[in-house]
Amino acid sequence: MITKKEQLIALLNLTEEEKRFYDTEEGMLPLKIPAHYASLIDPDNPNDPLRRQVVPSSEELKIDERTTLDPLAEEEYGVTDRLIHRYPNRVAFLTTDICAIHCRHCFRRRFTATDQGPATSDQIKEAAAYVAEHPQVKEILFTGGDVLTLS
């Protein structure tokens, strides 16, 4: 698993923009690339699609009126720690913040990789109670993080 800048530098010829990310990475989505995935990246092509998916760039640090860490306004619609009720007939349950890989375009970076782990029994019960009290909810989306990381 590639999780450190030094590991990435050993594998790829980083651009200046990619290197600049590490000047101010605090609070950003950490690096996490499975070794096999990293081996598929062209080390000399900064536009390699696999690379663009997972290699940090200073571009992702640009926050302005068009960008936000919560682009879907999920915090506004959060009804419990892990349950989002944005649409009348459906809710989204954040099962885990764990992902097998950290995609640089992640729209849940405010939640993913926060080391909370899978939802606790209490969080599940709280979400279930909310759904039971709202009969208009007909659909529950299990999301997160990567649901497939759960056993």
Where do the domains of the chain lie? 5-61, 74-149
82-133 pLDDT tens trace: 999 999 999 999 999 999 999 998 889 889 878 899 999 999 999 999 999 9
Q: How confident is the model at residue 52 (pLDDT cuts 50, 70, 90)?
A: very high
Q: How confident is the model at residue 70 (pLDDT cuts 50, 70, 90)?
A: confident
Q: Which residues of 81-92 are buried (b: 16+ CB within 10 A; e: fewer)?
A: ebbbbeeeeebb
Q: Give mean pLDDT, residues 70-89.
A: 94
Give the pLDDT confidence score for residue 146 in this predicted structure: 92
- Beta bridge partner(s), residue 144: 96
Distance in angstroms (rounded) separating the CA atoms of residues 89 and 135: 9
